[in-house]
Structure 1
Amino acid sequence: MSEKTKARPFGIRDKVGYMFGDFGNDFTFLLSSVYLMKFYTDVMGIAPYIVGILMTVARFIDAITDVTMGQICDRSRPTAKGKFVPWLRRMCGPVAVASFLMYAFWLENMSMTFKVVWMFATYILWGSVFYTSINIPYGSMASAISAEAKDRQELSSWRTIGATLASTVIGVVLPLIVYYTDAAGNSVLSGSRMGFAALGCSIGAVICYLICYKMTTERVKIEQETEKFNLLALLKYLLTNRALIGIIVAAIMLLLAQLSLSSMAQYIYPNYFRSSAAISASNLGTSVLTIALAAVMPPLVQKFGKKELSIFGALLGAAALIVGYILHTDNVVLFVVINLIAFLGIAFFNVSCWAMITDVIDDAEVRTGKRADGTIYATYSFARKLGQAASSGLTGGLLSLIGYSAATQFDQNVVDGIYNITCIVPAGGFILLALALIFIYPLSKKRVDANIAALKAKREQ
């Protein structure tokens, strides 16, 4: 099904290049996850539940576009540069332009109907079409860069570093730029500043994608899928893959926890604690912890296993947020510490999850003899978007339920509700993540090692 091509040895150039790919991805993905709801509720005046509906509708579209892009990747003919990496150069421009258009602050005085239609059109164009067409090939190419498990774990760690660098820009730097203090001393999001920040992130995304394109090399030649497309066979292949189902459920729960924390930070710090600067402090600490964990994760994985460490992280995050909910503290420093412990729990899964999906691909090949990197990664990517939708839909609905609007955003009962949402929703996501890994996902360290040995023996024949 695949074979190694003659190329320069795997090394730091590939790891740094692959890092820049997720740096580029998260310039637009995290920007949307963290700021889009805040922008449309506070600047454009759209109700939170409508933004939540948008996220849900988009996921139904993604069910088609993600799997379609996975099939396109698997069925495409390899080029001299490879099978997956050329898509980065093809689609980096469209995804950047579509992302910028989502933050069209110059339309804030248009009718509500126009603004809602614009929001739906630009978000679907960005996320369901252009982001999909670059993210699926990018994620799939990890298994083509190297066939070695150690190399793939390093790629996963470096990918997490790239995402963390983007998170630092978006979570640490941007709050200092896009918020201003009004006459009453409240931290308020500026529409124009948000728009120009989005433009800067789009330019940064293009640069990062092109660096990834230039620096990475596909060494494992993955043959073109030539069998006639059979939807029923594909569904059977996916639905009978317990490892894939396990990682899908885990990804949905992880994103529910992570993105709820990230998006609610734009409400709890400016509205409850009256400090937008605390967003930057919290995100800076998160970035430092994640990069530190990424540096030590490969030897930890070799000793304990990816699944096992991810379960520990999920339980750690849940415990921190439950304590935070019980305390209901007014001390912003204490809450930042609680938030950092929760994000450390997230990092245990995030640092390894990209290597875990290659484990799923390997496991499918061992069981069925068939390798479908693009299709499996596309299914996993769709699951992550479901987690994004679950987070946005649930938090948007709950914000509407507590009566949040631009007019009520600093009322005491509303800000108390914001605090409760910030703790309860991600804590529930953490608990469900741990349960999914324990009871559904079967790829323990012992089984992963056995699969790697079986595939190595197969390719050496």
Structure 2
Amino acid sequence: QLFYFDYVLGQEGLVGVVSTLNVIVVIPAVILTTYISKRVGKKMTAIIGTAGFSICELLNFTLFGGEVIPFLIVNTIGSMFLVIPTTVSWAFIADVVEYGQWQSGLRSEGIIYSSYSFTRKLSQALAGFLPGLALAMVGFKSNVEQTASTIVGMKFVFFGFPLIITILGLFIFLIFYPLTDKRHNQIVKELALREEL
């Protein structure tokens, strides 16, 4: 963010503004998550949030990422969408525990939760390492005016790469995650009949 704001938008101070806006949208996004989840279920709620974030990244990458005010508006909306799958993902942990128990007969909350926790920590570590590597790959050099190709590369690192990863995640989730709320309720009933709950 800092490099993009400084070298592309010419506004190094935007980091604080963006961080503040991201915090402001958390509470409305959590309320919205609850509302959507009650209407369409957890899986569809996560899909809606992820798709909304992807659209905002696409808009900033193609249209608005070079202008401060349009960028701030679209980025804030995108942040709000991103809170939705982040919030509902915690509910998936319990669903996966019961799904695993239904399949194997073993209830393994500890392994499932620690795997999720490890994955989050690994993602945070990669999030600290990969942007620096990506900036080097696009030709970024500190304290000099960036070339046109470097600016395009920085836009790709900031918007395009998250867009691709998010679409890939959305595809995997749509195809390989079978637990709708209806299916989860059936599993819970079967576990209750087997006296495993």
Q: TM-score range by the shorter chain?
A: 0.7 to 0.9
In structure 2, distance between residues paired with 1:293 and 1:449: 26
Match of 2:92?
356
| Equivalent residues of 2:33, 2:45 under 8 A apart | no
Match of 2:146?
411
Match of 2:161?
425
Equivalent residue for 2:172, pick from 428, 433, 436: 436
In structure 1, distance between residues paired with 2:188 and 2:171: 26
Q: Specify the code of the residue in structure 2 equivalent to 1:406.
A: S
Q: Deviations over 1:224-276 (max 9, x none)?
A: xxxxxxxxxxxxxxxxxxxxxxxxxxxxxxxxxxxxxxxxx222113322223
Q: Deviations over 1:203-230 (max 9, x none)?
A: xxxxxxxxxxxxxxxxxxxxxxxxxxxx
Unmatched tracts of structure 1, length 5 or more: 1-264
| Equivalent residues of 2:6, 2:12 under 8 A apart | yes
1:362 CA displacement:
1.2
Cα pair distance change 1:296/1:411, threshold 3 Å: closer
Q: Specify the code of the residue in structure 2 equivalent to 1:443.
A: L
In structure 2, distance between residues paired with 1:451 and 1:296: 27
TM-score by length of 1: 0.39
Indicate the SS of the match to 1:426.
Answer: helix
Cα pair distance change 1:274/1:338, threshold 3 Å: same
Identity across aligned pairs (percent)? 22
In structure 2, distance between residues paired with 1:436 and 1:393: 24
Match of 2:16?
280
Q: Specify the code of the residue in structure 2 equivalent to 1:284.
A: T
Match of 2:75?
339
| Equivalent residues of 2:64, 2:70 under 8 A apart | no
> In the TM superposition, what are the counterparts of 1:56-455 in structure 2 within 5 Å?
265-327=1-63, 329-408=65-144, 410-413=145-148, 414-455=150-191
1:456 CA displacement:
4.7
| Equivalent residues of 2:65, 2:155 under 8 A apart | no
| Equivalent residues of 2:18, 2:76 under 8 A apart | yes
In structure 1, distance between residues paired with 2:143 and 2:14: 23
Unmatched tracts of structure 2, length 5 or more: none
Q: Specify the code of the residue in structure 2 equivalent to 1:445.
A: D
1:428 CA displacement:
0.6
In structure 2, distance between residues paired with 1:299 and 1:449: 19
Cα pair distance change 1:324/1:444, threshold 3 Å: same
1:419 CA displacement:
2.2
Q: Deviations over 1:137-189 (max 9, x none)?
A: xxxxxxxxxxxxxxxxxxxxxxxxxxxxxxxxxxxxxxxxxxxxxxxxxxxxx
In structure 2, distance between residues paired with 1:286 and 1:407: 28
| Equivalent residues of 1:317, 1:346 under 8 A apart | yes
In structure 1, distance between residues paired with 2:177 and 2:128: 25
Count residues with an aligned counterpart. 195
1:389 CA displacement:
4.8
Indicate the SS of the match to 2:178.
Answer: coil
Q: Specify the code of the residue in structure 1 equivalent to 2:38.
A: Q
In structure 1, distance between residues paired with 2:24 and 2:189: 35
TM-score by length of 2: 0.86
Indicate the SS of the match to 1:433.
Answer: helix
In structure 2, distance between residues paired with 1:345 and 1:295: 12
1:375 CA displacement:
0.9
| Equivalent residues of 2:41, 2:181 under 8 A apart | yes
Which range is displaced more, 444-453 or 381-390?
A: 381-390
In structure 2, distance between residues paired with 1:416 and 1:432: 22
Match of 1:162?
none
